[in-house]
Amino acid sequence: MFSPNAVKVLEARYLRRDSAGKIIETPDELFVRVSSAIADAERQWGGPAAGRQWAERFHGVLRALDFLPNSPTLMNAGTGLGQLSACFVLPVGDSLEEIFDALKLMALVQRTGGGTGFSFSRLRPQGDIVASTGGESSGPVSFMQIFDSATEHIRQGGKRRGANMAVLRVDHPDILEFIRAKRQPGVLENFNISVSVTGRFMEAARRGESFDLTNPRTGKSTGQRNARNLFDEIVESAWRTGDPGLIFLDAINAANPTPALGAIEATNPCGEVPLLPFESCNLGSINLSHMVKPAAKGNEIDWEKLRAVVPVAVRFLDDVIEVNRYPDSRLAAMARGNRKIGLGVMGFADLLIQLGVSYASPEALEIGSRLIQAIAGEARAASLALAAERRVFSNYERSVYASKGERRRNATLLSIAPTGTLSILAGTSASIEPLFAVAYHRAHVLSGEPLTEIHPQFLSYLERQGLGSGSLLNEVFAKGRLAEVKGLPEEVKRLFVTALEIAPEQHVAMQAAFQAHVDNAVSKTVNLPEEAPRKSVASIYQLAWERGLKGVTVFRYGSKGEQVLELGVGEEAYEREHFAVCDPHECRL
């Protein structure tokens, strides 16, 4: 049922242990524990019989690995901790009391396994007067370092390192310091950082015009900067380090389902869920590699199975909100007020391989669009049915749905998360990403040993074609990618195309194909080869904005001294049997 790597992940992170550290739970017992705990919500609504019925249905999709919830749910459901959400956005106000209240709340969230996102845009700039003391502010970047240091000493749920997102508006006076912050080794290592930009800024950058910087304390201009020069600074830092990403505020707030509650300023650590202050996200992913069935000529998508799994997943995630134990009453109020969920997918690249379709093809874009459109339709229907069975979310009358008469249970439904660890458990490719490589190492591990991965479908293909000779495999193991491997048919190179071989425009187009039907956002990395020029990063940012994406992340291979995924394993590494785990939040760390 589970691969050797998945077993290592389960033992390291998910299976319960006794006070002596001994594992006291099997994988199936884990799924029984989680299913029963989440079905407590069904018992509250429908009694013991409903609880038993839905516990069985939840167990069925989990055990089959057709659907998996986010890591805190797997770790904490049915335990004394009971905090099940993946991530939270916490407000940071412009006073010492508000800043350290956010720091305290971050600590409470991270110790239960949740990640945290922050907008630091409300903090006054460096050098600004602090009236209460007569001193000067040290600025938002200095306070980010305090949050970073605290995270360094908090291990999430005792099982993984903390993850944060720091967002700063492009018109903040300290924006240049923020953009350059991670060029220095050892700075903000527990943060992904993103600049939030407006369409007005992007237009100004394209035309080379100046724009105003605004002190958030006074609302007044502190001077001007040339937008193109600042855009070039963002590009330079991203080319060097992978940070910052961009968040497109206009697109995010155009899709805000509850604008009466405020504007959205930040996202969760990997950017797939834009959230209001104190909101949280409950994520789960459908394993698309299991949504394939044999047909007369090859394989085809199993639409019937997909449509059966989606309503169960939606109900599961809604029940998570009901039984969740939040670290603070403000978090509980917002979660239950809007009931946001984020159903996503994993295994998309593996589905394409089973269908015989190259990720780099126009057909792959069409398949992705059809899949997410079908999931969105089924999820909406499930949320409408839940609202009829139970009731709409509490803030419904203050939402965009009230004017349409669309009585939904959940303010949002879909989100495409990275699924770093979940995809290992499920034995499939991550999220909607292409294969990173046919063979690779995963870094940022729990035990200090690399996790070596060889794509199982590739090995099966070689066996079927009689191509599995030792010399050929050694070359594949050493290089990771197939483009330069001799003796392989072009068809196999096309089918097992990897992230660094795919044009950046195809990466952006795939993200756009999914974003068109996702009401939250899509976490996806546009991978670039090490030799890619800076202008490639600039073009990706511009294209992502033009395509209406809510955010974009670019990663040039080799731009970090130590990175999560490394091409090739080499014959010696392949022969070793030492494995460990990368954190799902560390796709950009």
- Asked if residues 161 and 155 have their Cβ atoms less than 8 Å apart, the reply is yes
What residue type is assigned to position 60 of the chain? G
Q: What residues does 294 pair with on adjacent strands?
A: 299
- The three state secondary structure string of 288-347 is HHHCEEECCCCEEECHHHHHHHHHHHHHHHHHHHHHCCCCCHHHHHHHHHHCCEEEEEEC
Q: Look up 203 and say whether it is catalytic.
A: no
**Start-to-end C-alpha separation, the chain:** 31
| Cα gap 283→518, rounded to integer Å | 13
d(CA 191, CA 168): 13
Dist CA 187 CA 37 (whole Å)? 40
- Enter the tokens of residue 304: 């019937």
The catalytic position among 268, 324, 395, 410 is: 268
**Element containing residue 76 per DSSP (H, E):** helix 71-76
Cα 219 to Cα 267: distance, rounded to the nearest angstrom: 23
Q: Choosing from 265, 272, 433, 501, which is the catalytic residue?
A: 272
From residue 247, give the alpha-carbon distance in Å to each of 6, 10, 90, 264, 412.
Answer: 33, 34, 17, 11, 19
Say if residues 567 and 501 touch (Cβ distance below 8 Å).
no
The token pair that represents 315 in the structure block? 């109900």
Helices and strands: H and E segment counts in the chain:
22, 23
How many residues are recorded in the chain? Answer: 589
87 labelled catalytic: no
The question of whether 363 is a catalytic residue gets the answer no
In sequence order, what are the residues at sequence separation of 6 or more whose Cβ sits closer than 8 angstroms to the Cβ of residue 254? Answer: none
The two three-digit tokens of residue 242, written as one number: 């992978």
Taking a C-beta distance cutoff of 8 angstroms, is the pair 500, 479 a contact?
no
48-63 and 27-38 helices, crossing angle to 10°: 140
Options 70, 190, 265, 270, the catalytic residue: 270
Secondary structure element (H or E) that encloses residue 226, with its range: strand 221-226
Cα 562 vs. chain centroid, distance in angstroms?
20
| DSSP string covering 379-413 | HHHHHHHHHHHS---TTGGGSTTTTTT---S-S--
Rounded Cα gap, residues 89 and 117, in angstroms: 5
Q: Is 154 in contact with 110 (CB distance < 8 Å)?
A: yes
| Those residues with Cβ within 8 angstroms of residue 280's Cβ, 6 or more apart along the chain or in another chain | 85, 86, 87, 88, 89, 114, 326, 331, 334, 335, 340
Torsion of CA 25, 28, 33, 39, to 10 degrees: 180
Catalytically active residues are 268, 270, 272
